[in-house]
Structure 1
């Protein structure tokens, strides 16, 4: 009985786009990509901080896209270890994105203090902060529901 529960725990094929929390992969990828693009195109005042933000956005983008592709292909085969992997990946992504969003907000605040004219780069950094916090929220929601799925499998 527990094997049938774990085999239906992770969807495969197009069912990934219709089940919650797996449907959150799409907005996670979209908002993570937006953070990546905005930070890459903005002025870098604090390279260490914004370098971490870039690492997190690229890492989580690739991780989410890879997991989505593996779920589409059905590579997980319904094993319980994939449910654990899903939980660990979203737990790490939520923690990384929270730190990246706070650091990007700090860098944007410093950019606003350094440049009183507040040009286009400042608005890009503000958008990156907003999208980073949205991505953080999405990963936290996905993590919570992945944890519930993990506990029930």
Structure 2
């Protein structure tokens, strides 16, 4: 409890969509804070997100995250893939197979980069699901895997 709040060995981070990106950024840019992370349908690189997402999603995202051309340098600096080698905590990445809001390539590239360096990373692809997980069975699987993953890392 060096910061007076919690023991690092008991703190994990999880979120979805932009929050999934924030989870990746938290692990990449503050690698000594969390013992584990779960990133659900999050962007891992703003350049590839803007390149691969639906045009209407990209247009809406530009007002939230930054313009893909005008803010290119800032978005590159903020993209978790820039610091993927800094990720120290185990990571569970979850993505819907048919997600067009945040294309599945965002999950594939971060998982591949972490596996390339033998990092503790697990990947759950929800078959037939998009950005929102509509089937009860998918949501149940997601919650079960998240709990198992985090509990195993928290000890």
- Per the shorter chain, which TM-score range? under 0.3
| Structure with the larger helix share | 1
| Structure with the larger strand share | 2
Larger Rg: 1
Higher RCO (C-alpha under 8 Å, 6+ residues apart): 1
